[in-house]
Chains A and B, each alone.
Chain A
């Protein structure tokens, strides 16, 4: 009951609003040039972010599990910081460093790179946290056997470690992808929200609400909603496969 009042009812209202003008109206709202540009940029940015996360997340998880160095615990705790830090603060932190008053002299503010940087910041923990437990459980015997048979570290990683980690990496990536699609707070300050250039879908929705174009906002919301639900469904499916397998 609680769940349907808090979650279901509002979402149903969005879907209803978006199709108020029939499917045609929905299609018109979604295919306006600005909306298309925003959705396209959101998708591209999210894909870039997920790709970087897949690599760097795995590297970080690897270092945290297999490597020993002073302060490792501290670093491990640090990974959760992007989850805990309010997104608007995340945006401001990035702007403080990479913005117009940048102490290192790099001004990325209001560029596409800035959006990607902000998304990288907020999605950092997903892959690390998904891969880490799998890596801890992973039996080292296979790797040792391969090494004694003369396999190089790279071959061992590609043939033995990576296949074992793949489900976890994919799961972490999907969660990160869903998050990147909808991110708002971290992006809103640093992107400058320039239509056709750095405007992401969530910011587009926000500005359409401000402009009283609620139908347009609702239509793009539904697109976002569908994309992230599909992603989540994929994760759930993966989880089930792993349980059974």
Chain B
């Protein structure tokens, strides 16, 4: 009994010191000078613009990655083709690549001296140090989540119902929208939540390709760093609290979805 209690205190104590205290500390620092001060810090034009840009990243990257994720999961689980193992491995690559390397890679392709640089500048398209590059970076880092969540569900549900629908004359699209999609909806939901969290929180890759122009190419995470380095701690902490609140609600939604999926 005593050993059990010891283990419990060890685990909880570790979590408390490593997770709870630091996160609580940021909340404390943000509201140290009152709620109004924190509110003022996150409603400056720069902060609002950063928030908007972050939302734009989410609005573009999440739907694209969701569609790609479902398609890729179907391909991996349901089809046999050459190089399947390679595709599977490739999908996980964004998890293993450092965000900074992702940023560098994008610069080398789309930057001024990059592979597509000449063509892009001739056509007056600016990717690096502007929004398209940041969107590409966000898509890259949040790519695997939906695939990883949907593929195991697809494997588990098998093909029987789909085959039954096909023999009854359903078109492929009908089969997908009536049979497959409802079956994988919790997996998709979970993947979307994870993708959103990552898109909101991406820092390294976006930081490299954005050029960090305040009020132009600054997302909320870049805003935090920028203001921290300019010793505007109030702004940095307040923006952090906004991000932390998004993270906490993500965790809450994840927990809810997990419970739903278990009972479904």
Contact = CB atoms under 8 A, between A and B. Distances in A.
Contacts of B204: 87, 184-185, 202, 206
Nearest to B26: A93
A62 B10 CA distance: 11
A96 B14 contact: no
B90 A189 contact: no
Interface string A146-158: 0000000100000
A26 interface: no
Interface of A: 2-3, 6-11, 13-14, 16-17, 56, 59-60, 62-64, 67, 69, 73, 75-89, 92-94, 96-98, 103, 117, 120-121, 124, 153, 175, 178-179, 181-185, 188-189, 201-203, 205-206, 209, 214, 217-218, 221, 224-225, 228-229, 231-233, 236
A8 B90 contact: yes
21 contacts: A6-B140, A6-B143, A7-B90, A7-B143, A9-B115, A13-B109, A60-B14, A67-B4, A76-B255, A77-B255, A78-B251, A82-B19, A83-B194, A86-B221, A98-B22, A178-B95, A184-B203, A185-B221, A202-B100, A206-B208, A229-B93
Contacts of B201: 84-89
A67 B7 CA distance: 9
B202 interface: yes
B98 A182 contact: yes
A19 B220 CA distance: 35
Most-contacted residue by chain B among A9, A62, A64, A84 (CB, 10 A): A84
Which 7 pairs from chain A and chain B are nearest by CB?
A182-B98, A86-B201, A10-B105, A184-B204, A185-B203, A13-B108, A228-B96
Interface residues of B, number: 75
Given A14-B108, A88-B221, A182 B100 contact: yes
B210 interface: no
Nearest to B67: A2
B119 interface: no
Nearest to A121: B18
B109 A10 contact: yes
A218 to B, nearest CB: 7
B254 A80 contact: yes
Interface of B: 3-4, 7-8, 10-12, 14-15, 18-23, 25-26, 29, 68, 72, 87, 89-109, 114-115, 136, 139-140, 143, 194, 197, 200-204, 207-208, 220-222, 224-225, 228, 236-237, 240, 243-244, 247-248, 250-252, 254-255
Given A7-B143, A93-B240, A78 B19 contact: yes
A221 B25 contact: no
Contacts of A73: 255
Contacts of B208: 206, 209
Given A182-B97, A206-B208, A75 B12 contact: yes
Nearest to A14: B105
B216 to A, nearest CB: 19
B25 A97 contact: yes
Given A77-B252, A80-B254, A224-B101, A3 B72 contact: yes
A88 B228 CA distance: 11
Contact of A85 (B11, B140, B244): B244
A97 B93 CA distance: 33
Given A103-B25, A209-B104, A63 B250 contact: no
A57 to B, nearest CB: 10
Given A3-B68, A184-B98, A224-B101, 4 more contacts: A89-B221, A92-B237, A209-B104, A221-B101
Given A84-B251, A218-B108, A224 B225 contact: no
A94 B10 contact: no
A26 B197 CA distance: 36
A124 B89 contact: no
Contacts of B108: 10, 13-14, 16-17, 214, 218
Contacts of A120: 18
A56 B7 CA distance: 10
A83 B201 CA distance: 10
A209 B243 contact: no
Given A153-B3, A184-B99, A189-B228, A89 B104 contact: no
B13 to A, nearest CB: 10
Contact of A225 (B97, B136, B236): B97
A202 B3 CA distance: 41
